[in-house]
């Protein structure tokens, strides 16, 4: 099963690149244009390394950062140790593949990052999601990060939208 098929097929139809980053080789990874396989649990290091690479190589949107990002200099200082070589050691991803991804992400627009529900379901997952969600801002993409979890939860959308209103109910005294 392909994750987010609506986005996947629309991207294919418009000749966009689909890059899948996943520790597991899935059907989505098999159908991607580029597949990057980090060691399990190392996604946060990859995100911070990509952020550092974008900053160090001046691939960021400086105007967007100045206008919309608070604490950029502190962030830049804190992630400076996440060099491509260090991130390669932590993730098992070759340095050239990290650089190539960062450059594709910086130059080929429009682009989005779309993550599913599973990423944040492990220890440190919330921090990983936060690190990944910072990347679009660095390259000036407003709304460039999407987080889908509706398929993973048993959400009663009819109820949320008021579908229960006006239906008979039994009141227990």
pLDDT tens sequence across 141-170: 877 777 765 554 455 556 555 665 666 666
Is residue 168 one of the residues assigned to a domain?
Answer: no
Is residue 97 one of the residues assigned to a domain?
Answer: yes
Q: What is the pLDDT of residue 170?
A: 62
Q: How buried is 150 (Cβ within 10 angstroms: 0-12 exposed, 13-18 middle, 19+ buried)?
A: exposed
Is residue 172 one of the residues assigned to a domain?
Answer: no
Instruction: Tell me what percent of the chain is helix, strand and coil, each rounded to the nearest 5.
Output: 50, 5, 45
Is residue 140 one of the residues assigned to a domain?
Answer: yes
- pTM for the predicted model, two decimal places: 0.81
pLDDT tens digits for 32-89? 999 999 999 999 999 999 999 999 999 999 999 999 999 999 999 999 999 999 999 9
CATH number of the domain enclosing 29: 3.40.228.10
Is residue 165 one of the residues assigned to a domain?
Answer: no
Nearest residue to 143 (alpha-carbon basis) of 151, 133, 129, 153: 133
CB of 116 closer than 8 Å to CB of 3: yes
Is residue 173 one of the residues assigned to a domain?
Answer: no
Token pair listed for 127? 């921090």
Give the chain's domain count: 1
pLDDT tens digits for 11-27? 878 888 889 999 999 99
Is residue 119 one of the residues assigned to a domain?
Answer: yes
Count CA atoms closer than 13 A to 163's CA, side-chain side.
6
Domain boundaries, position 23: 5-160
Is residue 17 one of the residues assigned to a domain?
Answer: yes
């Amino acid at each position: 099963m392909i994750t987010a098929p609506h986005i996947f097929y629309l991207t294919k139809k418009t000749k966009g690149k689909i890059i899948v980053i996943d520790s597991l080789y899935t059907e989505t990874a098999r159908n991607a244009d580029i597949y990057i396989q980090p060691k399990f649990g190392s996604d946060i290091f990859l995100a911070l390394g990509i952020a550092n690479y974008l900053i160090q190589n001046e691939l960021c949107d400086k105007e967007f950062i100045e206008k919309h990002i608070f604490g950029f200099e502190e962030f830049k200082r804190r992630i400076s140790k996440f060099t491509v070589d260090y991130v390669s050691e932590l993730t098992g991803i070759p340095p050239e593949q990290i650089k190539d991804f960062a450059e594709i992400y910086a130059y080929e627009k429009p682009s989005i990052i779309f993550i599913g529900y599973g990423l944040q379901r492990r220890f440190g997952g919330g921090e990983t999601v936060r690190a990944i969600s910072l990347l679009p801002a660095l390259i000036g993409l407003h709304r460039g990060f999407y987080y889908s979890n509706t398929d993973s939860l048993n959400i009663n959308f009819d109820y949320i939208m008021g579908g229960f209103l006006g239906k008979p109910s039994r009141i227990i005294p």
